[in-house]
Amino acid sequence: MLSARFEEALAFAARLHREQKRKGSDIPYVAHLLAVASFAIEHGADEDEAIAALLHDAVEDQGGSVIRAEIERRFGPGVAGIVDECSDTDQEPKPPWRERKDAYLAHLASASRSALLVTACDKLHNVRSILADYDRLGEELWKRFNGGREGTLWYYRSVVDALAGRLDSPVVDELRETVEAIEERARRGLAAG
């Protein structure tokens, strides 16, 4: 069961991200955080992992090391450690996109099981959203991503490959299947274009 710590984390995450929207949409960002936490819980997350799922983007999007210290103070070093491992940067301005993604992928080789679980759930929600938006928007979708079509597909395929040997969980299979569905639509889009 989840305790009052989870409720506190939910309120904290909602406050931190209240002004943020999902990329290219009017969807409040907290919807993503709730989905990632839900996936994590459904795939066996303990309370620290579930809280980290709610807060996985707080360091990189909402204040860097200051927010990291606040997460540790409120929720402990276990949660803060998982959030650290799920963050691709705490710098502002952020380093270039490809540099961050390469470093993050390299980091997955030594990340904890907890961080791998939260990462898989985060990426699963992202690719499910991409797939739904791709069906609706077609090739226009790729304009919202720093990596464009090729970079975005490369990144998510690379995440699947990095997780496949390290995390034995159905969430990795779901992630792989969704990435493959996006890749197939992208191939069809190229062939039609």
Q: Give all domains of the chain, ordered by start, each with its CATH number.
A: 4-192 (1.10.3210.10)
pLDDT of 98 > 80? The answer is yes
pLDDT of 193 > 60? The answer is no
User: Taken in order 11, 113, 106, 128, is the CA torsion positive or negative?
Assistant: negative
pLDDT of 103 > 90? The answer is yes
User: How many helices and strands (H and E) does the chain possess?
Assistant: 10, 0
Which pTM value belongs to this model?
0.95
The pLDDT tens digits for 110-139 are 999 999 999 999 999 999 999 999 989 999
Q: Residue 139: beta bridge partners?
A: none
The pLDDT tens digits for 146-192 are 999 999 999 999 999 999 989 999 999 999 999 999 999 988 876 66
pLDDT of residue 6: 98
Q: Using CA atoms, how far apart are residues 56 and 60, in angstroms rounded to an integer?
A: 8
Q: What is the dihedral of CA 35, 37, 41, 47, to 10 degrees?
A: -170
Q: 171, 120 in Cβ contact below 8 A? A: yes
Give catalytic residues, as residue numbers. Answer: 60-61
What six digits make up the tokens of 168? 């034995």
